[in-house]
Structure 1
């Protein structure tokens, strides 16, 4: 069997890419190791810019809307946000709808089919009928944090974070609002509405007492879901005729670690690069995908990673102090953009006010500057 593009992974990034390529007339095969499409472990909290990038209407899958938010320090200092923040979307039917749209445009899909590796420039896949070889012009790994396609390239990633989510059988979140509680450094717990119930999640490292943090909020729960979450984006996303997108490329926000928006936007950029390469009959994927993705998200990623590095070195008292300082600017930063978290907060604070914040906490901003330089050097 020969295809123009073999896409490994049928999440939002892989599904969106398959749709765009099939719509352009390319012969696309998407495979996924799971038998059933849809990720239960994702929070489904999607910002409005993200919703605009998705290739389907999400309204049938919206379970709640978020119009207020509270960020809370370890000692209980709170910063409030208001506005059109996000919608909570059930990822299982959403992911399936994206794949259905790709199929209706001519893409093919095989579920319960695992990518094993490459032999003699052919992909080896393992499905119900055993091993099979697939010839391809371009190969894309959209196969998550433990990407097998990335392994073929020989690229390593930072140790991933761990995310756990559960359901509370009663509403413990604010009406149309979410709460994010900082637990340790940049690791946090969140509570948000899911219909007439609430969902509670926690993100941290494997050494963190994640289930203890959850039980502090909801001693009795159902529907526990566990997932690995990328730590940071790779420096490069493609090599030759092989590319990565979404969690496989580490395309997640540095603070919340949410990945749908960055992954789907990456899928659009990658589709454009693949279509251009295909039309020019290039044996490799041209590099505008990688270049444009970093142009769009480079500052947000690098500044966010630097901020995260500083937060991870702070004790609870220092974190409380930072939150207390930010409360003076609560009204300024209340129009929080969940898809551009750090940059939106900075844009809403004037230059003189930013300077005042810097001068009031010189040690913090010296640490931040050092971390920022380190992050920029990492991605040179």
Structure 2
């Protein structure tokens, strides 16, 4: 419905406003796919996501040498606990942004990043990224999906892939006339392992400073690991690579802990 806004949910009745006029719609099932600030989740009283990141992004003029490359900045002075990015968008512009668990000073951090890139913003947007799925995503005849369910990947904050997987599961459940509770079980069986692994990686990454990050990147920059990353690396399934790296990972981690130990 064009120019339609959901105002409130009572039982299975949605109270809408369409082109300034009130409208009521009754539905057998309500799906909340309304993003990280989900009103549906708030109206129904779903438990909150376990964590949030704050992201900010600018659209800037951009003329890269390689339009199929993205740039990632792991400098903790720019994006504490997370990273910053430059992603080519349509021709002549890019999305430049960062995410962090520290809300204070986030606009200043973006300003410093843009200065580093010698770029002026055309448009700036900010918002919350929920990571750590809600303890429940089904209540009665209401289901949450995507960012509304906090299904985003803790490693990157990306919600497109897990949201599509969960939406497909929900569609299968609804089309098969199954109980809605089956959606909860099925999406978790398909996604929860990767989300848990991603949260583990996120917690480790948040403990690292710039020196430790540089050491890890140098360690993984060896030919052996680059071949492995090229063969097994998958942004949507990091556990596959992590399992393959597990023996070397612990060697690297022990070495890193020794490097961090203060001199006597």
TM-score (norm. length: structure 1): 0.59
Residue 168 of structure 1 contacts residue 218 of structure 1 at CA under 8 Å; is this kept in 2? no
SS in 2 for 1:111: coil
Q: 1:193 aligns with which of 60, 63, 88?
A: 88
Q: 2:193 aligns with which of 299, 306, 322?
A: 299
Deviation at 1:143, TM superposition (A): 0.5
Partner of 2:236: 339
Q: CA RMSD in A?
A: 2.4
Deviations 1:55-101 (A, max 9, x none): xxxxxxxxxxxxxxxxxxxxxxxxxxxxxxxxxxxxxxxxxxxxxxx
| Unmatched 5+ stretches in structure 1 | 1-109, 366-380
Partner of 1:147: 38
Deviation at 1:125, TM superposition (A): 1.7
Deviation at 1:140, TM superposition (A): 0.6
How many residues are aligned here? 245
Deviations 1:170-223 (A, max 9, x none): 324644211111132541111232324433222223225332233322342323
| d(CA) in 1 for partners of 2:14, 2:67 | 49
Residue 163 of structure 1 contacts residue 226 of structure 1 at CA under 8 Å; is this kept in 2? yes
Q: How does 1:273-312 map to 2 (within 5 A)?
A: 273-277=173-177, 285-312=179-206
| d(CA) in 2 for partners of 1:168, 1:115 | 33
Residue 170 of structure 2 contacts residue 183 of structure 2 at CA under 8 Å; is this kept in 1? yes
Deviation at 1:299, TM superposition (A): 1.6
| d(CA) in 1 for partners of 2:203, 2:229 | 22
SS in 1 for 2:104: coil
Change (3 A) 1:138 1:319: same
Change (3 A) 1:120 1:260: closer
Change (3 A) 1:245 1:173: farther
| d(CA) in 1 for partners of 2:248, 2:240 | 18
SS in 1 for 2:85: strand
Are residue 354 (structure 1) and residue 249 (structure 2) matched?
no
Q: 2:62 aligns with which of 167, 170, 189?
A: 170
| Unmatched 5+ stretches in structure 2 | 258-264
| d(CA) in 1 for partners of 2:65, 2:151 | 29
Deviations 1:212-243 (A, max 9, x none): 23332234232323333222221221111100
Are residue 207 (structure 1) and residue 104 (structure 2) matched?
yes
| d(CA) in 1 for partners of 2:57, 2:192 | 29
SS in 1 for 2:75: strand
SS in 1 for 2:234: coil
Deviations 1:347-374 (A, max 9, x none): 5x3xxx5313313423879xxxxxxxxx
Change (3 A) 1:139 1:198: closer
